[in-house]
Amino acid sequence: MRLVFLGTGTSYGVPQIGCACRTCTSSDPRDRRSRTAALIESEGRRLLIDTPPELRLQLVAAGVGSVDAVLFTHAHADHVHGIDDLRAISARQRSALDVYGAGTTLAELERRFSYIFDGTPPQPGTSKPELVAHPLEPDRETEIAGLRVRALALPHGDHMVFGYRVGPIAYLTDAKAIPAEALARLTGLEVLVLNALLPRPHPLHLSVPEAVAAAQQIGARRTFLTHLTHDAPHAELAARLPAGIAPAHDGLVIDLAAV
């Protein structure tokens, strides 16, 4: 099994438009962050988590031409506005692609991208994503593309988002806290992924100190922080984090041997 970080940036991305800060002008490639997405791969199967605006570029950079299913965390623009890029995948596979998420998330996608979900065929000479939506219930394990997936409900301000546990990996982004119900499902992890927006509190997201505290409470063997801003360059953030916790970066691949 392996985890591929396709994108690790906040909704603005890094560099931000018009910003000349030291992170946005850094020559370190780890400081160039597209919007957040990931792949979990196991035995030739791929689960894609979210479809951000840069999805085409992310999949091309990762050498990925197919996925078996898509897991949506929530319907905010930075996590879903690359959904049309899925048409390249469904067209290549010549079959519909299964997509999963909370019922409210899927309903919002159907409203916002009605041309995808209205059941009509594309006009001759054109294409559109062929997707089949499957609502998930929180804290219920479901087999998706041969993998056991558990959706975990997390608060994101006044909204609820889904994090996902897939075997020894948990991917939790855009959370403001990790509720007790989710904590109970996060024991024995090899890899934990957490959002960590800023060094100071934020009303919708875990801050870096809050993410570190949550990671230490959960106790995964390795924790990676994602959904990062331009607040600090990658190298500086890495240097001040405790052992076992590190910032992710676009293109980072984590292999889990013998899993």
Prediction pTM value: 0.97
User: What's the rounded mean pLDDT across residues 77-100?
Assistant: 96
Cis peptide leading into residue 52 (ω within 30°): no
163 within 8 A of 182, measured Cβ to Cβ? yes
* pLDDT score at 180: 96
Residue 257 scores a pLDDT above 90:
no
Question: What is the per-residue pLDDT across 15-61, written as a single tens digit (0 to 9) for each?
Answer: 999 999 999 999 999 999 999 999 999 999 999 999 999 999 999 99
Pairing assessment for the beta strands 169-172 and 191-195 based on DSSP bridges? parallel
175 within 8 A of 195, measured Cβ to Cβ? yes
Number of domains within the chain = 1
Query: Helix H segments across 32-179?
Result: 55-62, 77-80, 86-93, 103-112, 114-117
Regarding predicted confidence, which is higher, 223 or 157?
A: 223
Q: In the structure encoding, which two tokens stand for residue 239, read together?
A: 């240097």
Instruction: Provide the b/e sequence for 141-158 (b: ≥16 CB within 10 Å).
Output: eeebbebebbbbbbbbee
* pLDDT score at 258: 45
Q: Which domain holds residue 119?
A: 2-17+24-255
Say what the alpha-carbon torsion angle 100, 106, 109, 114 is, to the nearest 10 degrees. 100
Residue 259 scores a pLDDT above 70:
no
Question: How close are the terminal C-alpha atoms of the chain, in Å?
Answer: 6
* pLDDT score at 157: 87
38 within 8 A of 49, measured Cβ to Cβ? yes
- CATH number at 44 reads 3.60.15.10
Residue 85 scores a pLDDT above 80:
yes
Residue 64 scores a pLDDT above 60:
yes
* pLDDT score at 214: 97
Residue 77 scores a pLDDT above 50:
yes
* pLDDT score at 231: 96
- When pLDDT is cut at 50, 70 and 90, the band that residue 158 belongs to is confident
User: What's the rounded mean pLDDT across residues 228-234?
Assistant: 96
